[in-house]
Amino acid sequence: MPIPEKTPGWLERRLPVMSVLRREYIAFPMPRNLNALWSFGAFLIVTMAAMIASGLFLAINYTPDITQAFASVEAIDRQIPSGWFLRSLHMGGVTMLFACLYIHIARSLWYGSYKAPRELLWLTGLGLMLMVMVTAFAGYVLPWGQMSYWGATVVLNAVHTIPLIGKPVSELLLGGETLGNTALHRLFVLHFTMAFAILAVIALHVAALHVVKPNNPSGIDPVSPKQTLPFHPYYTSRDGFALCLFLMVYAGLVFFLPDLLTLADNYVQANPLVTPRDIRPEWYFAPFYAILRAVPSRLGGLLLAVGSLAVLFALPSLDRSPTRPATRRPLVRLSLPLAFVSFILLGIAGMHPPTETWLIVSRVAMAWWFIHFLVVMPLVSEREITS
């Protein structure tokens, strides 16, 4: 005798939240062959939650004024109960967030997750990356340290050189000719509000994922229920274990190595009259900074730095081959790892003084990055379509 279905409750009949959660996050069909790289999406969500929670408490005690900003950050570290922990959680979270973000995008590139029907998923993910970069840049200025001030000055001066829009954009951010109270206040508001805008785009990104379903290492979408597993308990348990390992690394960074990736000059209050001997960005901006200074023209360097991201947005159009994973594409399997190495070399070069050697490394790595996306991918995809 069949078991009668349970009648939905009063709330469920009017607002079917639990049935939606059950369908989209418990019984949601996932490919059986996902590997550990698919856990980095969960890492990103957890890290973003930690960043927003810690940022709210930091904002309560921060003063967006050039005469008090540095002192307020020092007070958070030394006087506010557990303030050092919240700031380390926030600073370490930036490092973990960008590390996971770059790995997440590299995984998508390797397995062709930008191809149809997942173009919108890819574009919303890249949009999130840009939003995180803008938020991180605004947040980097807030401590009003020496490197924060001069790093922001370099970027804003480069933006100022863009024809037509450069001057209005820089004036909108600065509120004057140079970084000052108005600029600091505006960057604080930008940093604070962008965090909540990121949450909205994350929701859009996840919604897009649930429409087109996840990609998988084989690049062949499941066609029958036997080729899938429900998200819970199979992937919740696996992601939960991976998340424990991730949080151990995060905790080690927060409690034992909070200053590992922070420049010492940023513990000195900003002085507009004293230029640091070597202006360096944080590691997650280093690849783009290396491109910026690899070209003698300030405008040319900025356009190439922006172009290095623009080619990712154009990738669904540049690579029209139906084959997704690089493992099944011999030429891409050789070219794409070199592009990954190029990105890493740009990051290393961006963290070193602009000597002749590092400028050559930057130019060679930059050249291969563009060659891979603008030359290799279109040619390979055309050959695979016609063969």
Binding site for a ubiquinone: residue ranges?
210
163: which residues sit within 8 A by CB, 6+ positions away?
299
Count CB atoms within 10 A of the CB of residue 343. Answer: 18
Helix, strand and coil percent figures for the chain, each rounded to 5: 70, 0, 25
Please, what's the largest Cα pairwise distance for the chain? 85
- Residue stretches of the annotated binding site for heme b: 90, 104, 191, 205
**Binding-site residue ranges:** 90, 104, 191, 205, 210
Could you give the 3-state DSSP secondary structure of residue 65? coil
CA atoms within 13 A on the CB side of 245: 8
In 10 A of CB 32, how many CB atoms?
13
Residue with tokens 């939905």: 8
22/80 Cα distance (integer angstroms): 42
Dihedral over alpha carbons 132, 232, 212, 104 (to 10 degrees): 30
Whether a cis peptide bond, with omega within 30° of 0, leads into 117 is yes
How many C-alpha atoms does 168 have within 13 Å on its Cβ side?
A: 3
